[in-house]
Structure 1
Amino acid sequence: MEKTVTWKEDVLGDGFVQATLELTPDSEGPVVATIVKAPAPQQPGFLDRLLGRSAQVAANTDVLYIHGWSDYFFQKNLADYWRSQGAQFYALDLRKYGRSIRPGQSEGFIENLADYDEDIEAALEVMGHGSKKSGANDKALEGRKLVVMGHSTGGLIFSLWANRYPDRADAVVLNSPWLEYQLTAAARALVAPVLRAGTKINPKSKMPSIDFGFYSRTVDKNKDGEWEFNYDWRPEHGFPVRPAWLNAILTGHAQVAAGLDIPVPVFTWLSTRSLLVPRWSPDMMKADVAIDVNIVAARVHQLGKLVTLSRIENAMHDVVLSARPVRNHAFDELTRWLKAYL
């Protein structure tokens, strides 16, 4: 059974609903996460059944998705993909992101990525996949599988979570996960001590921004992209970067570099190339402008014993927001993997 929460219409409309999840308050006051529930899975039509195309590779499956840095869930096409495969789709706006931002909060701020365990656990209980410790685990009773999916920073968060809780999910799907610092592990090792010192002195001080707004430009319907989103929840130049937050990210990167042992199948999308330059180029519409995909590709193989890496040509950082032929190809690759491993 799902934990009882109050659902209300979500900003996405079209049958999407949301519920607020109360979390432990911190020094900035009340803290919440927000779970978004997509409409029920799509059922195969008469013609699909007639032609033998009614098999859904994710039937009896629940999916929980987490967004990336300076982001929130607005990718309805991702929900539609999972629904077409028979899954019930949920998305989580983490504390201090998107729907969960409250007045006076430092957007996106966290000092330890493991603190997000509370957000994730609250969402899973609502979904009926609570832990055995909480007494809310109905997974065995319902016979439903759980897939966790993370984009960018969300991919890092879910990778570390799946390693800490090896018995919770049946599969992990990663969309351009931020698994390593852009300037290599050696640069991370040099930066980390300075960040730790800054964290002790002023953990929330605003660091110089290096976001030129190019990624937003590739996505924004009012510029070069094709997607609409809330600028307050997904600002053009991202949230302010703060020492304690970046230290938490680099600590997570170090954990991945040391090697994880995720016991379930892991699937990862990455673009075939990055374009990390300080000047706009139309080629950014066909590349990852946020992370170094080749460095991350090397880290993917340190996640577990059964990992699959799908390099998608002309993909952007959020693969599902790439040009239609590109994202359709990416979804086809994921479907093929799900047939084999889910």
Structure 2
Amino acid sequence: MTQPWNPDILGDGFEQQTLELDGGAVATLVRYLGASPEWLEARDDEASGIDADVLYVHGWSDYFFQKHLAKFWHRAGARFYALDLHNYGRSLSPGMVPGFVTHLADYDADIAAALSAMGRTGDPGQDRPLILLGHSTGGLTLSLWASRHPGIASALILNSPWLEFQATELGRRAIAPLVGLHARLHPLTPLPPVDPGIYTRAVSATLDGEWDYNLQWRPDRGFPITPAFLDAVFRGQATVAAGLGIDVPVLVLLSDKSYLQPKWSADALTADVALNVDAVAHRSLSLADTVTVSRLPNAFHDIFLSPEPVRREAFERIGRWLPMALQPSNAELWEARTAGL
């Protein structure tokens, strides 16, 4: 049953729709209708806008609240949508285990329901280009989805995707069997906490940051990590390491450095405090034949929650990369030009 669009908690221009999934679970799709002007309305000399659909998927212990991200895409001419996956954010109800999943492919139903609600037919000849935008675990999820569903997306933009374990591939391989065993025997037993709240201190307006958000949907120290969730991530990362062969251009946005210490330092305000960004940069090359890795000095784990100069630079880099990524293929022309060389 299709649910109506209703006003969203983000206010003017934002609406949400509940997506009913099998087994009684729900996901939630948020759209931005545009209370801010498009660039083309503001400036007649702008280049053509991006006539595309954008689907954003959040990371672990997170949900969509980045209004400025929606406004950026709207001003560029695109239709922006964000998905709160089942057991997260707007889709989280009392009694649910936050973030619970046993395989990242379980989110295929959420994504399929979102694409249907966006009015996409599945026919590349009729649909607008689809830009997938994923953060952290959402970036890993969308990378795997794009590999399993070729011919649907037109471009993939990853915002600090969790493509590899912080202790690198060797560390993941060493502990993955033990995590897998716990996932089978005790899937919901919380693992020892690893988040001392450093990231929250960097981004929350209640501390040293500038962002207001729902602390139940995005807790100070994150949701308790379960063996089931970590096993799902490890299996996804192993699949990436084997090579995904994604059939569209990929842009990976990362900070230029990590801060993975257990105590607070001012260095946390100029680094990714969640990922080993060097390991992720290396693993990004396993995604597709065409991958652009863009390192942003002093960026946070969520590039779009970084200080304003970093965010502005990230948007500029997307603006430079995307027109080339969406450009129709000139394969036949170049085949003729290079014949016999």
- The TM-score range, normalised by the shorter chain, is over 0.9
The letter for the 1-side match of 2:266 is P
Equivalent residue for 1:268?
252
| Alpha-carbon distance in 2 for matches of 1:138, 1:177 | 28
The letter for the 1-side match of 2:30 is V
* Distance change in 2, residues 1:224/1:46 (3 Å): same
1:62 aligns with 2:56: no
1:39 Cα deviation from its structure 2 partner: 1.5
CA RMSD of aligned residues (A): 1.4
| Alpha-carbon distance in 1 for matches of 2:173, 2:40 | 54
**What does the per-residue CA deviation read over 1:205-246, in whole Å, with 9 as the maximum and x for residues that have no partner?**
111101000111111011111010000000000001111110
Identity over aligned residues, as a percent? Answer: 50
1:53 aligns with 2:51: no
The letter for the 2-side match of 1:316 is F
1:31 aligns with 2:18: no
Unaligned runs of 5+ in 1: 130-135
CA contact (8 A) 2:253 2:293 kept: yes
| Alpha-carbon distance in 1 for matches of 2:122, 2:290 | 26
The letter for the 2-side match of 1:5 is Q
1:67 Cα deviation from its structure 2 partner: 0.2
| Alpha-carbon distance in 1 for matches of 2:12, 2:212 | 15
CA contact (8 A) 2:26 2:91 kept: yes
Runs of 4+ in 1 over 4 A off after TM superposition: none
| Alpha-carbon distance in 2 for matches of 1:46, 1:122 | 32
The letter for the 1-side match of 2:46 is R
The letter for the 2-side match of 1:55 is S
The aligned length equals: 325
1:128 Cα deviation from its structure 2 partner: 1.7
CA contact (8 A) 2:58 2:83 kept: yes
The letter for the 2-side match of 1:281 is S
| Alpha-carbon distance in 2 for matches of 1:291, 1:46 | 39
Pick from 11, 14, 17 the counterpart of residue 16 of structure 1: 14
Map 1:268-287 onto structure 2 (within 5 A): 268-287=252-271
Map 1:65-144 onto structure 2 (within 5 A): 65-129=56-120, 136-137=121-122, 140-141=125-126, 143-144=127-128
Equivalent residue for 1:151?
135
Map 1:182-261 onto structure 2 (within 5 A): 182-261=166-245
- With structure 1 as the length reference, what TM-score do the two structures score? 0.92
| Alpha-carbon distance in 2 for matches of 1:18, 1:55 | 28
1:54 Cα deviation from its structure 2 partner: 4.7
CA contact (8 A) 2:2 2:19 kept: no
| Alpha-carbon distance in 2 for matches of 1:152, 1:226 | 20
CA contact (8 A) 1:48 1:54 kept: no
| Alpha-carbon distance in 2 for matches of 1:168, 1:106 | 31
Map 1:278-317 onto structure 2 (within 5 A): 278-317=262-301
| Alpha-carbon distance in 2 for matches of 1:318, 1:8 | 28
| Alpha-carbon distance in 1 for matches of 2:221, 2:63 | 15
CA contact (8 A) 1:289 1:316 kept: yes
Map 1:325-336 onto structure 2 (within 5 A): 325-336=309-320
* Distance change in 2, residues 1:46/1:253 (3 Å): closer
1:282 Cα deviation from its structure 2 partner: 1.4
The letter for the 1-side match of 2:122 is N
1:15 Cα deviation from its structure 2 partner: 1.4
Where 1:246 maps in the other structure, the secondary structure is: helix
- With structure 2 as the length reference, what TM-score do the two structures score? 0.93
| Alpha-carbon distance in 2 for matches of 1:200, 1:43 | 50
**What does the per-residue CA deviation read over 1:175-234, in whole Å, with 9 as the maximum and x for residues that have no partner?**
000000000111111111111111121111111101000111111011111010000000
| Alpha-carbon distance in 2 for matches of 1:46, 1:236 | 40
1:42 Cα deviation from its structure 2 partner: 3.8
1:291 Cα deviation from its structure 2 partner: 0.4
| Alpha-carbon distance in 1 for matches of 2:289, 2:276 | 23
1:140 Cα deviation from its structure 2 partner: 2.8
CA contact (8 A) 1:128 1:137 kept: no
| Alpha-carbon distance in 1 for matches of 2:124, 2:247 | 18
Where 2:260 maps in the other structure, the secondary structure is: coil
